Structure 1
Amino acid sequence: AVVRRHSSEVVLVEVPEEEVLIDVDTLEDLRSYLQRRQPS
């Protein structure tokens, strides 16, 4: 899976296959996305 940042950096992150491309503005957005994905 690919997480594309607006700064043109590309970060590889394990996500469900249905979520192939995710746009995040900042690493904080990425962290909060990953936290939401964690099983509670």
Structure 2
Amino acid sequence: MSGENKTVAGPKGIAIVLCGMLGIMLALWGLAALVAP
């Protein structure tokens, strides 16, 4: 069962990391757009 749990947690963890990176990039892009003249 532990193997199945790891298989289920893997994709979720990857999705969370990708969403987090996208969110950070969007936040940096927004700040750059506001700071840029």
What is the TM-score normalised by the length of structure 1? Answer: 0.33
- Larger-Rg structure: 2
Which one has the bigger helix percentage?
Answer: 2
What is the TM-score normalised by the length of structure 2? Answer: 0.35
Bigger relative contact order, structure 1 or 2, given CA contacts below 8 A and separation 6+?
1
